[in-house]
Amino acid sequence: MTKDLASAVRKYALREGADIVGVSSARSYDAAPKGYRPCDLMEGAKSVVSLAVVLPSAALENVPSREYSVSYTKGNDEANRIAFRLSRYLEDEGYRAIHVPASPPYDVRRNMGDLSHRHAAVLAGLGVLGKNSLLLNPKYGARIRLVSVITDAFLKPDKEMDVDLCGSCVRCIRACPAKALKGKGVVDKEACDRQHVLVGRRLQLAGPEQVCGVCISVCPVGKPVR
């Protein structure tokens, strides 16, 4: 095949509205729990495309807020739209592909998604995991929503980033209203979820609109200078 499919995939996703795009090999997920690997979700999986949509920085200035909640949910919607279109594009090219939705849905019992978009993004070179356990991109910080597309097309994978974006900073740990961040990327998920529910009650929000965002708002990585 003369066509560079990996480059074509990146260009298509960017044209559809993705802000950053990366590719990882399905074989890179051997350390993931059984049932949450690309091959568990689609037989014959060879590659995973990670996409990110950047949220407006102003939406994070007064979190928790309804404005941030709207940006968060619309960011997921936009990421899902792009990933769905990319899956169709790959199908048109003669390959199989499925789009793993941006949150939700969840495995409620284990508080996990069907595929870890954060870890997929790390493997695809989009960033590194911060002390808040979220993906940090050097340009956009954690102000992004992630989604993944699994395909049986072989796409040349990107290199992982080898950079420490947190350093000695502990702003997210100190600012977390639920004290859910324990350092080294460890999160008390139940405490975090309880905080989301409290935010939802105060702001009269329900379901996936119940989001906090404090650990993202205080993170200096990729924050626009005003």
Q: Model's pTM, two decimal places?
A: 0.94
Specify the pLDDT at position 71. Answer: 96
The total number of residues shown for the chain amounts to 226
Show the tokens assigned to 159.
């290199």
Strands 47-54, 144-151: parallel, antiparallel or unpaired by DSSP? antiparallel
Specify the pLDDT at position 109. Answer: 67
Specify the pLDDT at position 3. Answer: 66
In contact, 57 and 223? CB cutoff 8 Å:
yes
Q: How far apart are the C-alpha atoms of 17 and 47, rounded to whole Å?
A: 21
Q: For the chain, which ranges sit under pLDDT 50?
A: 1-2
Residue type, 165: L
Number of structural domains the chain divides into: 1
Specify the pLDDT at position 184. Answer: 84
In contact, 117 and 50? CB cutoff 8 Å:
yes
Q: What is the pLDDT of residues 90-110, one digit of tens each?
A: 999 999 999 999 986 667 667
Range list of β-strands (E), the chain: 20-25, 47-54, 97-100, 128-129, 135-136, 144-151, 181-183, 186-187
Specify the pLDDT at position 112. Answer: 80
Residue 154 lies in domain: 1-226
